[in-house]
Chain A
Amino acid sequence: MSVLLEVRGLEVAFRAGPPLARRRFKAVAGVDFDVGRGETFALVGESGSGKTTLARAVNGLQPISAGSVAFDGLRIDGLGGAAMKPVRRAMSMMFQDPVGSLSPRMTVGDLVTEPFRIHRVDADPEAETARLLSLVGLDAAFADRFPHQLSGGQARRVGVARAIALNPRLIIADEPTAGLDVSVQGEVLNLLNELRERMGLAMVIITHNLHVIRHVADRMAVMYLGRFVETGPSAEIFAAPAHPYTAALLSANPEPDPDRARDRISLPAEAPSPMARPDGCEFHTRCPWAAAKCGTEAPAAVGGDRRAACHFPLGAGARPPAKESTI
């Protein structure tokens, strides 16, 4: 599998704070990853982890402050609008809000054919609308509807139809199941899986929902404060998380089973702000296993395909040391 997207040392910095004391901070603080052709790569993290900023930076919507992004062998970071335009044909992006990412005064037909107009592709709009709507499982009658007349699931399908309109090689999907009912989430994931196989698409899926990843991603990265704390094949990570944060995330997704034993890794306190990063391992302030070394020395992520930035990676079935549970 050859590499389609190559991200190296990517950093995104913002300035924030009161007007006279603006400080620079890194929302994304140096990440490296590759996405192969036809591969699905998942970025997992909680709010503030920088996952959406990372996706926008890869897509060129957000200027980067260091590092490089290469798509299909071509450096695309820092490309201007005109030079970036052909890249955007091959790399489409889906945004979080299913309805909010559709222009409210345009009909579904206009929305799904907009990519053709933007890139001046000669196509019969009506035929393309019908083709795309049927690909995403919507009736052709939807072409005349406006976004506010769609349910979340239908709007998401329209978003998918726009994303695949010009046969891209990569789709970046930010929380593709956010705001959807459980029974509809499955539909959207099935649709993405199906299209991926049919069109040989590579995907980057950004989500906080681990259950989603389990069913769609080949490889995944767990983000914390703008860095990857663990990367690797998703099946391996689900079977035996090596980083305590990954383990905590995995245990924090309650399953609909009232009899299941609830041994959960609860994390004390809330995540620190990227404006005030802790010393040493940045997770040590919340880590149930933290030792003295963790507070002083930053761990490096070592290894090949499977990496965890932790001084004391967990073995299979690791339990947290006994400690009273706090928020």
Chain B
Amino acid sequence: MSAAGSDLPGAGRLPTSARLLRSVRRVAREPLGALGLVLVAAMIGGAVFADILTAFEPNRISPRDRFLGPSFGHLLGTDQLGRDLFSRVLHGGRIALSVALLSTAVSLAIGVALGLVAGYGPRWLDNLMLLLFDSIKSFPTVMLALALVTLFGPSLTAVVVVVVLVNVPGYARIVRTRTLSIKESEFVDAARSMGAGTARILRTHVTPNVIGPLLILASMDIPVVIAIEAGMSFLGLGVRPPTPSWGAILNDGFAAIRDTPWIAVAGGLPIILTTLGFTFLGETLRDVFDPRLKGRG
């Protein structure tokens, strides 16, 4: 880990970056993994360089240009307010990706912390926390979202909180299970016998061995998060208009789907492509890093 690396300069740093590069190559060698990488890179690139890639302001209303079909000027056409859909999709990608990355990162941090406590702590605490995780998990996502929005009003924060609440119990359970088995391993006994305290054991010996599979799982959860954000925005529980969001575009398009189907397509396509991209990437990562699955169809 980084703490150990700073104690011993040079040790382990080069292998890590070399390994990362090799992992990317291994993922890219699989056809699905390469497709996933391309899709994800395209989405991230589009969101980051949105201002360069399009000349239109995403929120500029232009009543003369309402309901224009796709053309060279407007690649995906315009919506009922004459806003350029391509620009809105790219900017919507910023919302989707930042919500996805932020909420996944927060879920991971909380999930790992709770899982470590449950797995390494005393038995009664473990039982109590399992009860808590299961109670949260048993809430239907939509109900949870509605309840939170009623409390805080529709906002990006509400979306993030819903996603975190939905994700944390799953991550914590995985971390807890892995921690329980790592706790019994000889290298943890060895650390204890050397006098290492609980904090040190969790930081240096447990966490690095728990986190790998979890990152893969999280990358497969990102599409789910994007769908939750889109879904909540579609229902009007997420970002407020006029902020561009894929779910909101989809909603706009839905109202006029008979006459101007391209609006719904413009909202739906990026959701589908991003979801597929992250799913392919996650599954390839899992196959590449889980040696037990190697060589299977």
Contacts of A232 in B (CB 8 A): none
Please name the residue on chain A nearest to B12 by beta carbon. A107
Determine if A102 is an interface residue (Cβ-Cβ < 8 Å): yes
Digitize B180-196: 1 where CB-to-A-CB distance is under 8 Å, 0 elsewhere: 00000111011111111
Asked whether, in the complex, the Cβ of B195 is within 8 Å of the Cβ of A119, the reply is yes
Contact with B along A134-163 (1 / 0, CB 8 A): 000000000110100000000000010010
* Per-residue B-contact encoding for A60-99, CB less than 8 Å = 1, 0 else: 0100000000000000000001001100110011011100
Q: How far is the CB of B17 from chain A (nearest CB, A)?
A: 13
Q: A115-B194, A162-B194 given as contacts; is B11 within 8 A of A101 (CB)?
A: no
Stretch from B51-59, B142-150, B165-173, B197-205 contacting the other chain: B197-205
Q: Counting CB contacts under 8 A, is B209 at the interface?
A: yes
Contact between chains at B12 and A144 (CB < 8 Å): yes
Answer yes or no: B122 CB below 8 A from chain A CBs: no
Contact check, B7 vs A93: say whether CB atoms are below 8 A apart: no
Q: B4 — which chain A residues lie within 8 A by C-beta?
A: 106-107, 110, 117
Q: Is the CB of B186 within 8 A of A97?
A: yes
A100–B187 CB distance below 8 A = yes
User: Can you name the residue of chain B whose Cβ is closest to the Cβ of A62?
Assistant: B189
**Cβ–Cβ contact B7 & A103, under 8 A:** no
Contact of A105 among B8, B9, B208 (CB under 8 A): B208
Across-interface contacts of B1 in A (CB, < 8 A)? 105
Interface residues on B, range: 20 to 34
A109→B1 CA distance, assembly (Å): 13
Contact B195 A118 (CB under 8 A): yes
Are A95 and B186 in contact (CB-based, < 8 A)? yes
C-alpha gap A275/B204 in the complex (Å): 38
Q: Is the CB of A88 within 8 A of B11?
A: no
**A103 nearest in chain B by CB position:** B187
| A61-B8 contact, Cβ under 8 Å, with A104-B209, A118-B194 | no
Closest to B195 in A: A88
Does any Cβ of A come within 8 Å of B140's Cβ?
no
Q: Is the CB of A113 within 8 A of B193?
A: no
Query: Which residues of chain A are near B200, meaning CB under 8 Å?
Result: 118
Given contacts A100-B186, A117-B7, A144-B12, contact A85 B209 (CB under 8 A): no
Shortest beta-carbon distance, A140 to chain B, in Å?
11
Q: Are B194 and A88 in contact (CB under 8 A)?
A: yes
- In-complex Cβ contact of B186 among A89, A96, A119, A162 (8 A): A96
Q: How far is the CB of B16 from chain A (nearest CB, A)?
A: 10
B8: contacting residue among A97, A100, A119, A129, CB under 8 A: A129
- Complex alpha-carbon distance, A153 and B14, angstroms: 26
Give every chain B residue within 8 A of A85 (Cβ-Cβ): 195
Please encode chain B, from 255 to 278, with 1 for each CB lying within 8 Å of some chain A CB and 0 for all others.
000000000000000000000000
B9 to chain A, nearest CB (A): 8
Q: B192: which A residues are within 8 A, CB to CB? A: 61
- Minimum C-beta distance from B2 to chain A (A): 11
A105 cross-chain contacts in B, Cβ below 8 A = 1, 208-209
* Interface presence of B297 (CB below 8 A): no
Which of A84, A103, A126 sits near B205, CB closer than 8 Å? A103
CB proximity of B236 to chain A, nearest CB, Å: 46
Are A92 and B194 in contact, CB atoms less than 8 angstroms apart? yes
Which residues in chain B, 1-33, are within 8 Å of chain A measured between CB atoms? 1, 4-5, 7-12, 14-15
Q: How far is the CA of A96 from the CA of B15 in the complex (A)?
A: 28
Which residues of the other chain, A, contact B7 by a CB distance below 8 angstroms?
A: 110, 113, 117, 125
Distance, CA A59 to CA B186, complexed state (A): 14
Interface presence of A218 (CB below 8 A): no
Closest to B212 in A: A105
Q: Are A103 and B193 touching (Cβ within 8 A)?
A: no
**Distance in Å from the Cβ of B138 to the closest Cβ of chain A?**
26
Q: Is A34 an interface residue (CB 8 A)?
A: no
Residue of B15, B191, B195 with most partner-chain A CB within 10 A: B195
| Distance of B7 from chain A, by nearest CB (Å) | 6
Does A114 reach chain B (CB closer than 8 Å)?
yes
Q: Given the complex, which residues of B lie within 8 Å of A100, measured CB to CB?
A: 185-187
A–B pairs, 30, beta carbons within 8 Å: A61-B189, A81-B197, A85-B195, A92-B194, A97-B186, A100-B187, A101-B190, A102-B190, A103-B190, A103-B191, A103-B204, A105-B1, A106-B4, A106-B204, A106-B208, A107-B4, A107-B15, A109-B8, A109-B12, A110-B4, A110-B8, A114-B194, A114-B204, A115-B195, A117-B4, A117-B7, A118-B200, A119-B195, A143-B11, A146-B15
Query: Beyond the given A92-B194, A103-B205, A143-B11, could you list 9 further A-B residue pairs with CB under 8 A, ordered by the A residue number?
Result: A61-B189, A95-B190, A100-B186, A113-B8, A118-B191, A118-B200, A125-B7, A126-B8, A144-B15
Which are the 10 A-B pairs with shortest beta-carbon distances? A88-B195, A105-B208, A101-B186, A93-B193, A109-B11, A95-B186, A103-B187, A85-B195, A110-B4, A107-B12
